Chains A and B, each alone.
Chain A
Amino acid sequence: MSALLEVSGLQVAFGELRAVRGVSLTVGKGQTLAVVGESGSGKSITSLAVMGLLPAQARVVEGEISLDGVNLLDLAPEELRRLRGEELAMIFQDPLSALNPSLTVGYQIAEVFRRRRGASRAVATGRAVEAMAEVGIPDAAERAKAYPHEFSGGMRQRVMIAMALALEPRLLIADEPTTALDVTVQAQILRLLRERQRAGLAMIIISHDLGVVARTAQSVVVMYAGQAVESGTVAEVYGTPAHPYTLGLMAASPSARTGRRGIRPIDGNPPDLTALPSGCAFHPRCPFARERCRTETPALRPLPSGRTSACHFAEEVLAHDRAAGA
């Protein structure tokens, strides 16, 4: 099966600061990949790079982002713009600030049909109302005339989803789509996303919540200090982490399946990106660390069964898992 999106060796810098330091990930057609990691590990910046929506101060230093074999970084801004909405779409953590406060939600959805498909105002409005009804917004025709602040958090996120999926993109990036919501609403939004997955939508889901990841994704990439440190199927990575950082995440999470505010901080703090530790960036916090970790930077390397880990002692970590599991 050929990949829909393939990111390789991506590096993004804000001036001197490297926020993303070599991230590779693959999303298969119709598949969902989760990206997890502590705050500041570069999850959002990676996804914004894919969308071509990095903040003005950021720039891609190295790497490749290919969609269907086309490197998005080689495209002219105008070509990339046309892919947004049509092929790639994104929803954001805080749907209130992500929506324009001075335009009705109906307008904000309808403008996609008007500007991208040349639909008339009336037709576009009709389609916007349909799109709102499809994501389960009751009384859609009436609600289309309301402004974002007049919606609850959950309803706003539904609006965002309707808007992002309006042109039926193939890949949806969901950056912490449920973090701001309470549990019941969170479950509703996840159900909505899962329906779309079944209809063939591929997703990248970014979440702090290991439970959300388990319920939506097939595979997962774990990020630490701007790097991917482990990847594999959700079952493998959750069952037998091959990187001490992942192990820490799992241990910190009360229950990967039911815990809702998943990741509790591991001992120590994420490193300052301007003064990274030598060798393995995780070594000051790593229970497995030894001399080699301070001097030699571990590369992300394949392990048996197609998973990867950026730890010198990945095999040892796996053995530890088995011992603990037994």
Chain B
Amino acid sequence: MSDLLLNLALILVKLGLIFAVILSMAAYLVLAERKILGRMQLRHGPNRLGPFGLIQPVADVIKLITKEDFVPDQSDKWLFLFAPGLTALTALLSFVVVPFSPPLAIFGRELPMVVCDLNIGLLYFLGISSLGVYGVVIGGWASNSKYSLLGAIRSLGQLLSYELSMGLALIPVVLTAKSFSLTDIVMSQADWPNLVRHPLAFLIFLVSIAAESKRTPFDMPEAENEIVGGFHTEYSGMRFGLFFVGEYINLVILGSMLTVLFLGGWHGPLLPPIVWFSLKVLFVAFCFIWARGTMPRLRYDQLMHLGWKVLIPLALLNLLVTAAVLLALKG
């Protein structure tokens, strides 16, 4: 019994730590994004609050909390109120399976550095990330506004299409690691990161998660200048904030998935594993921000074309070739 309690306490402590880290990371990613985008456009970005604007996230949160929480009259109230929470929650939940460091030995016990090492961790991640679309869609539909509905429809189509190529790009990784567990997948990359072994799968996965996170080259669902913010047009105050933070949590999650699956997780010379892991995640996040500062938005038909006619056939081909090569090597 005491063993069970200890396990429970450990899980809760890890969960709390991860939530705190991720939430603050998301808050500071917002700041980092604004600063980096600013510098890329020859501006400064926020720099008034504290040195280099470091207190800006706090001010943002205060502003969002004190704003009126507006509910449109003809909206589907309960769904409207509940959708933003769903978005943020699903984004947070996927972090449960991400291993960020090799198992640690404390007090003679082996302590896995992951909240819950599921043996189907990868599938769990795929499942949770496919749930993420519900928050957006329900929010957009419940607002009962044309722009929100358009945003919801766009995000439905987009997420559905890119989920396929994302899943297909992951199968070669599973084939080499011979496991669905993320810890095993990281272990299998001890000498070579999967980036080297499966460059095509890496590219496909990269594009797919960029589309999945609804960020700039693929931000049709929120396209401010076409459909006025899309699904979150009608939201204000902290509910908008939840959508917003959810997007950045998603960025952290997808960055860590990319790290775990393709960049070799915590493996790296000299520095301790956890530092390598965070460095890689931050680098991926920077690349996403960089892409936002660089790329124009795609058109919707271009998006669908890219998803269905380029990425999915490529991913299938890649899967076929990888499987054949692995079979040949084995036999």
Task: Report if A and B associate in a common complex.
Answer: no
